[in-house]
């Protein structure tokens, strides 16, 4: 594949803890329902999966936030549930109800039938990556992503979202062998999936462990982190003459930061409950940190947004040999006013240089 040279590599450099002139920014779920243009494209696509499975639509919505805001990275528009869908679990999105699987994994028979799917079933994702890379034309890097083996297993076992994760945790406590088997298949699949995204052009990858934080201490390490590590271990790390950095984000995982930082990833995502100053000290700048504004701070009006953004940057402090990627601590709310994002991105761009390079 012939690709345009990268014009803005601030995000990739920050992930590698290299010198940059300012703190790069992107936002989890930046291509989403808070943008009217996203809703318009989605209406044309007919459904969420219609959007995700059509490379041209996926490209269109991926690029939309970049047209509005000077963000430093694009992230593939897709969903972590494409993987279990490819495994044959029958994903659907009921109106206003979130995702559901027709064939959840509940018992020994279900687990026995589960297998690593052929990656050709996810070709639409890799095609989207290729189209997006072409259309990005080197403006900013493109992030590929997947759910963590445990997080994807939550949906596979519960069959939908859950308040208490009773079904998957019951399996964990009563039949850990079954859950380990699911997690092993998920880890193998996720590594193939992310590597195919990297082959198609993803310049960094992120693993979303959205639900690892619901596990007990000790069990998080065994049932979530160990399998995320397996994925990280299998990742292609060099493409197009550059390192492909890997970011791991466990929502609610602040207490396990040192362990997460130790699995071989380049960066750890943090939610807003974590003090970035303490987090840096705990990992001794051995990884970059991504985060961690409360997404609801975007509802506070411009002055509060700017003040809260500065509070995050001040907590990280002079970047030195660390690496900071500004982000929210969770996906942006669908109710966010688009102008709030403009204020946020502007504040990070104008305030952060004082913490970089010869300015520090």
300 binds a second copy (CB under 8 A): yes
Is residue 124 flagged as an active site residue?
A: no
Stretch that binds a second copy, among 41-49, 131-139, 150-158, 307-315 (CB under 8 A): 307-315
Residue whose tokens read 């805001």: 69
297 binds a second copy (CB under 8 A): yes
CA distance readout (Å), 109 to 117, 160, 182: 17, 20, 12
Is residue 110 flagged as an active site residue?
A: no
Name the active-site residue from 13, 29, 280, 306.
29
In the set 110, 127, 135, 294, which binds a second copy (CB under 8 A)? 294
User: Cα separation of 135 and 125, whole Å?
Assistant: 15
Name the active-site residue from 33, 106, 134, 310.
33
User: Cα separation of 217 and 315, whole Å?
Assistant: 27
CB of 252 closer than 8 Å to CB of 271: yes
User: Cα separation of 168 and 69, whole Å?
Assistant: 40
What does 256-291 look like in DSSP terms, one character per residue?
Answer: GHHHHHTTS-SEEE--TTS-HHHHHHHHTTSSEEEE
Q: CA angle, 197 as apex, 95 and 294 as ends, to 5°?
A: 55
Name the active-site residue from 155, 193, 227, 355.
155
Is residue 34 flagged as an active site residue?
A: no
In the set 254, 269, 322, 323, which binds a second copy (CB under 8 A)? 254
User: Cα separation of 196 and 128, whole Å?
Assistant: 12
333 binds a second copy (CB under 8 A): yes
User: Cα separation of 74 and 318, whole Å?
Assistant: 26
63 binds a second copy (CB under 8 A): no
User: Cα separation of 125 and 32, whole Å?
Assistant: 17
In the set 218, 238, 241, 358, which binds a second copy (CB under 8 A)? 218
In the set 48, 68, 188, 213, which binds a second copy (CB under 8 A)? 213
Stretch that binds a second copy, among 142-150, 194-202, 266-274, 342-350 (CB under 8 A): 266-274
Name the active-site residue from 42, 100, 133, 280.
42
258 binds a second copy (CB under 8 A): no
- Smallest gap from Cβ 165 to a second copy, in A, equals 7
317 binds a second copy (CB under 8 A): no
Spell out the residues 6+ positions from residue 27 whose beta carbon is closer than 8 angstroms to its own: 65, 71, 327, 328, 332, 341
- Number of residues lying near a second copy (CB under 8 A): 38
SS3 97: coil
Site string for a second copy, 168-187 (x = CB under 8 A): -xx-xxx-------------
Stretch that binds a second copy, among 12-20, 52-60, 273-281, 351-359 (CB under 8 A): 273-281
CB of 27 closer than 8 Å to CB of 298: no
Site for a second copy in 228-247 (CB under 8 A): none
Spell out the residues 6+ positions from residue 279 whose beta carbon is closer than 8 angstroms to its own: 254, 257, 270, 289
Cβ neighbours, 10 Å, residue 107: 10
Is residue 33 flagged as an active site residue?
A: yes
**DSSP type of residue 235:** S
Element (H, E) at 66: helix 55-68
- Smallest gap from Cβ 266 to a second copy, in A, equals 23
Is residue 155 flagged as an active site residue?
A: yes
Stretch that binds a second copy, among 17-25, 107-115, 194-202, 295-303 (CB under 8 A): 295-303
Measured from the CB atom, the residue of 149 and 295 that comes closer to a second copy is 295
110 binds a second copy (CB under 8 A): no
- Smallest gap from Cβ 297 to a second copy, in A, equals 5
Binding interface with a second copy (CB under 8 A): 164-166, 169-170, 172-174, 213, 215-220, 252, 254-255, 272-275, 293-297, 299-301, 304-305, 308, 311, 315, 329, 333, 335
Q: Which residues are the active-site residues?
A: 29, 33, 42, 79, 155
């Amino acid at each position: 594949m012939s690709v345009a040279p990268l014009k803005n590599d601030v995000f990739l450099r920050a992930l590698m803890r290299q010198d940059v002139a300012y703190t790069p920014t992107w936002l989890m779920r930046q291509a989403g329902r808070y943008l009217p243009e996203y809703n318009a494209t989605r209406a044309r696509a007919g459904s969420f999966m219609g959007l995700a499975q059509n490379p041209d639509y996926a490209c269109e919505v991926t690029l939309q936030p970049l047209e509005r805001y000077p963000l430093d990275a694009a992230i593939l528009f897709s969903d972590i549930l494409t993987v279990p869908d490819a495994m044959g679990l029958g994903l659907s999105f009921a109106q206003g109800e979130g995702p559901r699987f027709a064939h959840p994994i509940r018992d020994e028979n279900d687990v026995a039938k589960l297998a690593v799917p052929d990656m050709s079933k996810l070709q639409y994702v890799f095609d989207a990556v290729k189209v997006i890379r072409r259309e990005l034309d080197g403006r900013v890097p493109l992030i590929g992503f997947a759910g963590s083996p445990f997080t994807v297993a939550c949906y596979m076992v519960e069959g939908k979202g859950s308040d208490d994760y009773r079904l998957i945790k019951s399996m964990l406590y009563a039949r850990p062998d079954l859950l380990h088997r699911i997690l092993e298949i998920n880890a193998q699949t996720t590594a193939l999936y992310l590597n195919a995204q990297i082959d198609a052009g993803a310049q960094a990858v992120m693993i979303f462990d959205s639900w690892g934080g619901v596990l007990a201490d000790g069990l998080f390490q065994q049932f979530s982190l160990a399998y995320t590590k397996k994925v990280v271990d299998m990742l292609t790390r060099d493409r197009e003459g550059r390192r492909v950095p890997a970011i791991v984000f466990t929502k609610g995982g602040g207490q396990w930061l040192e362990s997460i930082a130790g699995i071989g990833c380049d960066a750890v995502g943090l939610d807003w409950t974590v003090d970035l100053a303490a987090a840096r000290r705990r990992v001794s700048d051995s990884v970059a940190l991504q985060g961690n504004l409360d997404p609801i701070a975007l509802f506070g009006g411009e002055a509060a947004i700017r003040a809260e953004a500065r509070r995050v940057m001040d907590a990280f402090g002079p970047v030195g040999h660390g690496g900071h990627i500004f982000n929210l601590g969770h996906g942006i709310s669908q109710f966010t006013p688009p102008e709030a994002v403009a204020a946020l991105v502007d504040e990070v761009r104008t305030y952060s240089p004082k913490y970089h390079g010869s300015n520090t």
